[in-house]
Structure 1
Amino acid sequence: MSIEKNDEDLFTLVWLGDSCGEIQFGMKKFINKFTNLNALKEYIIDKPNSSIIVIISDSIPFDGTSFVDSPQICAVYNEKLVCLYSLSEMFSTADKYLKNQQEETKKTSDQSCISKILSIARKYWFLVGLAFSICMAYIFPNLGKTGGYIRSEWTVKYGCVILVFFLSGLSLRTRQLAKEILHIRLHILIQIYSLIVIPVLVYYLTLFLSNTSMNKTLLFGMIIMASTSTTISSNVIMTKNALGNEYAALLNAILGNILGIFLSPAMILFFMKNSMFDYLSNTNNEKQKLDYGHVIKNLTLTVLLPLFIGQIIHLLWAKKIMDIREKFHFSELSSLALLTLVWSVFCTCFSTGSFKTIGTQDLIILMLIDLVIYLFFSSFIFIITRLPIPYWQFSEKDSIAIMFCSASKTLAMGISVINALYGNTNQALTGLLSLPLIMYHAEQLIIGAIQVVLLKNWIKNKLKDNTNIQSTNENEVKTDELQIINVEP
């Protein structure tokens, strides 16, 4: 007799012993588990036609004679799958069956492990893509560098930015935002905190760090990072997943990116007046002198105009655009465009040797500083919104939207601002200035994913508490009514 694929239910696997032995054994297809022999015998009394294989724990003394009077038990094995007892005609069949079960369990475990890895990769594919983009830039720097084979200063640095904001314009659900327009207090808090408070505080932090040996270009890159507007997609997704006010996040993502076109360059140029950053101003060449009007014109053409055109098309053919958006995955296309932009920036950095001027210590410190900045500003604004002050405290859902919109910074707008400031005049400089923002963007995605889980559980617990309170109040009302009825004659 041999085991075929259709014979997988030929035997019934039974575990005899404590649970620890089962874990060590690693077999998952046990139909029943018993802690003593008497319980096992009671089980098989009603199963005269069954074929049972018993795996016995080392904690139970084995006595072969105990199984002789139970013909349903075909074989008994210990935890190491050594046969202790078997009906002579069933030994070969039972042994093959157990080996098949082990292989199936191992295969299932391997598939489960691969499935988990793929699931994590799908969930954090942008971070995986970010690492891949940087690796490709390191291996093939001449392909995507400024002035390289594909002329990335035009095809990528303008093309990808325009594509990102055009797709954002096509995706904006304007009509669903009408109810959020009147939440003036929420919008003002987010925009002031994101575009004024954070830039100013980070600016003073960089002044403090300038007294150290840290690279000054990276410090100014931190200022640019802090001065950019909120993201236009990831903060909305995280707010939604955390059960926060999705439409408030979406409206402020739009508002922040429009205001950022005018405020971000103004803040950056204001901070640049500090003599510490004189070497960034290009003041030695009047033709290359930084001009606010030129920066606004550049951002209007690459950010505001594509966003506006995309929104007009969405309003005219909303239903068709919705179908196309789902079919072609606009969100993923935008992320791919961002990754291409990052790849191009790093190609230029590696080709010009920009990173050779930065020590490993500076990179580690920059990574830690970006992490602290995001954690501090996201936590601080969340605490501010929950202060129990009359007429001030925001709802739980609004607080989540405020937190994600206030502390997150957009990669697309940041690199656009850097390109608008310097264009192709200083390739090495643009790469270094982009580095703090790229690191910050990656870290805010990682930390944001953890925050989503914590905030989602917080909202669910709040809902449970409110439900319990409501249920208690209803019971009290019913009790009062019964008391009143009993008192009345």
Structure 2
Amino acid sequence: MSNEKNDENLFELVWLGNSSDKALSEINFTHEFTNNYQLKEYIIDKTDSSIIVILSESISFDITSLVECPQICAIYNEKLVCLYCLPRMISSVETYMKNKQQQQEIKKKSNQSCLSKILSIVRKYWFLIGLLLSILIAYIFPNVGKTGGYIRSEWTVKYGCIIFIFFLNGLSIVTRQLAKEVLHIRLHIFVQIYSLIIFPFLVYGLSLLLAKTSMNKTLIFGIIIMASMPPTISGSVIMTKNALGNEYAGLLNAILSSVLGTFLSPAVIFLFMKNSIFDFLSKTSNTQHELNYSHVIKNLCLTILLPLFIGQMIHLLWTKKIIYIREKFHFAELNSLALLIVVWSVFSTVFSTGSFQTIQKIDLLILIFINGGIYILFSLLIIIIARLPVRHWQFSEKDTVAIMFCGVMKNLGMGIPLINALHDNTNQYISDLLPLPLIIYHTEQLLIGTIQVTLLKHWIEKKFNKPTQTLKHNTYVQSNNEDELKTDESETINVAC
């Protein structure tokens, strides 16, 4: 055997034992053997080789017979403890094995780092991943979650999950924290008018232009329904908080929009339905518009307002217990999971009825771009309006962040029951397609909103860290701003996601 200085090519590292017992997965072995005979057969012709054997603790072996083989210069157990080594090779073998151990540790850390990164991404974007999985499962097993399917989703999901979502919202709303924002009336009026009136009417005008094209008319009206929805309570508040905006203003306006939207959104939609372009929608109903409207309001009150009110009453009566339970059982994640079940049910029905086959792929592609464009355009518009340099009008940076998210985010949880109440599955094709624009918009608002959070957070931080001309005044202002910024970052509102 050679006595040259140790390098990577000097030794052959082999494993002796069952492959299932091999704990040193990070080490690349030259060969693996399950018994002594296989090893001896291998080394018969290896007269010039220097072999280091790693032994499994679960295998019985005769170490004496191995030592007699001149090619074997060292024997280690699977914990890399030396059992035997040729005296003249001790230094080289030790150096070689230390290098192997270091490589093993580096690979372990690298694998752990990659795993932690993957888990971090999954935790951050688990809702979007869940959205894709729910659509995939709906495609593979459509008969489970479809309307009239095995679980009767028209009752268990489209009513049960929606009631559960808003009940959790009611349990999660911390009313006392909203007191300081009640008198900010100018901000509240602006947000409500923009979200529930300006937004839907402008999108309605855009939809009339789209109606002149060959795009599917049901999808076009689905865009109108999407635009008429109030903001999602959780999404707008969480985005506002993460961007260091006025989260309490965001929460109050999201709640106010949900209550007003229960009555105003159906009224606006019925107004738009009177256009002759969308006659096919009203003809699918069994009753007149007035009765339909009262029917829709009744459904929305039972599925949205009543659970929200009951949840809030329970929260006010047993605040401490509810806060503990909310944290213990992760209400935010439960809420998102319930929303994914609703999406799964919608797509199960769509795939089971073959409604997707009637839509041209170009229409879906256009819908994705239109929804993304609407979100970005209306985000920029509301920021510009909120920051107009007009005396007694211009809102602060923190208020502007809350205004933007509350003004452009739309509530998927409210949209699904409203569509159900509008048609009661009297026309399955229309009921299948109407939610698609809202589902796509909900996905895009999460993706684009994540980017907006980063940009707006940088804007807020830059504003609060901006130095003034006077050094003494600068120290005072910067200190106050940093304190305010830290306070905002430390405060949390736990709202169902």
Aligned partners of 2:284 and 2:427 also within 8 Å: no
Specify the alignment match of 2:473 in structure 1: 473
Task: String of CA shifts for 1:22-55, please: whole Å, max 9, x gaps.
Answer: xxxxxxxxxxxxxxxxxxxxxxxxxxxxxxxxxx
Specify the alignment match of 1:402 in structure 2: 403
C-alpha distance in structure 2 between counterparts of 1:115 and 1:427, whole Å: 44
Specify the alignment match of 2:375 in structure 1: 374
Task: String of CA shifts for 1:87-132, please: whole Å, max 9, x gaps.
Answer: 9864332233223323322332222122111111111111111111
Specify the alignment match of 1:248 in structure 2: 249
* 1:96 is the counterpart of 2:91: no
Which runs of structure 2 are paired with 1:172-211 in the superposition (5 Å)? 172-211=173-212
- Change in Cα spacing, 1:404 to 1:287, as seen in structure 2 (3 Å) is closer
Which runs of structure 2 are paired with 1:106-121 in the superposition (5 Å)? 106-121=107-122
What residue ranges of structure 1 are gaps of 5+ in the alignment?
Answer: 1-86, 477-489
- Change in Cα spacing, 1:290 to 1:430, as seen in structure 2 (3 Å) is farther
C-alpha distance in structure 2 between counterparts of 1:295 and 1:443, whole Å: 27
C-alpha distance in structure 2 between counterparts of 1:406 and 1:151, whole Å: 35
Aligned partners of 2:226 and 2:415 also within 8 Å: yes
Aligned partners of 1:153 and 1:424 also within 8 Å: no
- Change in Cα spacing, 1:317 to 1:222, as seen in structure 2 (3 Å) is same
Moved more, 453-462 or 231-240: 453-462
Identity of aligned residues (%): 65
Specify the alignment match of 1:147 in structure 2: 148
Which runs of structure 2 are paired with 1:90-489 in the superposition (5 Å)? 90-282=91-283, 285-286=286-287, 291-466=292-467, 469=469, 471-473=471-473
- Change in Cα spacing, 1:295 to 1:173, as seen in structure 2 (3 Å) is same
Task: String of CA shifts for 1:396-450, please: whole Å, max 9, x gaps.
Answer: 1100000010000010011111011012222221121000000100110111111
Q: AA paired with 1:139?
A: I
SS in 2 for 1:157: coil
Q: AA paired with 2:395?
A: F
C-alpha distance in structure 2 between counterparts of 1:284 and 1:166, whole Å: 29
Q: AA paired with 2:302?
A: L
How far 1:223 moved relative to its partner?
0.3
- Change in Cα spacing, 1:439 to 1:463, as seen in structure 2 (3 Å) is same
How far 1:359 moved relative to its partner?
1.5
SS in 1 for 2:466: helix
Specify the alignment match of 2:69 in structure 1: none
SS in 2 for 1:169: helix
Aligned partners of 1:129 and 1:339 also within 8 Å: yes
C-alpha distance in structure 2 between counterparts of 1:206 and 1:416, whole Å: 22
SS in 1 for 2:164: helix
How far 1:214 moved relative to its partner?
1.1
C-alpha distance in structure 2 between counterparts of 1:221 and 1:294, whole Å: 20
- Change in Cα spacing, 1:299 to 1:398, as seen in structure 2 (3 Å) is same
How far 1:290 moved relative to its partner?
6.6
Q: AA paired with 2:452?
A: Q
Task: String of CA shifts for 1:423-480, please: whole Å, max 9, x gaps.
Answer: 22222211210000001001101111111111111111111115x556453689xxxx
C-alpha distance in structure 2 between counterparts of 1:126 and 1:335, whole Å: 7
SS in 2 for 1:214: coil
SS in 2 for 1:393: coil
Q: AA paired with 1:149?
A: Y
TM-score normalised to the size of structure 1?
A: 0.77
Q: AA paired with 1:263?
A: L
How far 1:286 moved relative to its partner?
4.1
- Change in Cα spacing, 1:288 to 1:254, as seen in structure 2 (3 Å) is closer
SS in 2 for 1:473: helix
C-alpha distance in structure 2 between counterparts of 1:331 and 1:169, whole Å: 12
Q: AA paired with 1:473?
A: H
Q: AA paired with 1:215?
A: N
SS in 2 for 1:233: helix
Specify the alignment match of 1:8 in structure 2: none
Q: AA paired with 2:448?
A: I
How far 1:282 moved relative to its partner?
2.1
Task: String of CA shifts for 1:171-211, please: whole Å, max 9, x gaps.
Answer: 11111101101111100111111011110111111111112
- Change in Cα spacing, 1:284 to 1:154, as seen in structure 2 (3 Å) is closer
C-alpha distance in structure 1 between counterparts of 2:429 and 2:156, whole Å: 19
SS in 1 for 2:95: helix
- Change in Cα spacing, 1:474 to 1:335, as seen in structure 2 (3 Å) is closer
SS in 1 for 2:150: coil
Aligned length: 389
C-alpha distance in structure 1 between counterparts of 2:424 and 2:201, whole Å: 25
Aligned partners of 2:167 and 2:307 also within 8 Å: yes
Task: String of CA shifts for 1:205-250, please: whole Å, max 9, x gaps.
Answer: 1111112221111100000000000001011011111111010000
SS in 1 for 2:244: coil
Aligned partners of 2:284 and 2:423 also within 8 Å: no
Moved more, 444-453 or 107-116: 107-116
Specify the alignment match of 2:479 in structure 1: none
Task: String of CA shifts for 1:53-82, please: whole Å, max 9, x gaps.
Answer: xxxxxxxxxxxxxxxxxxxxxxxxxxxxxx
C-alpha distance in structure 1 between counterparts of 2:342 and 2:395, whole Å: 37
- Change in Cα spacing, 1:175 to 1:220, as seen in structure 2 (3 Å) is same
- Change in Cα spacing, 1:284 to 1:396, as seen in structure 2 (3 Å) is closer
Q: AA paired with 2:253?
A: N
TM-score normalised to the size of structure 2?
A: 0.75
C-alpha distance in structure 2 between counterparts of 1:284 and 1:430, whole Å: 12
- Change in Cα spacing, 1:138 to 1:470, as seen in structure 2 (3 Å) is farther
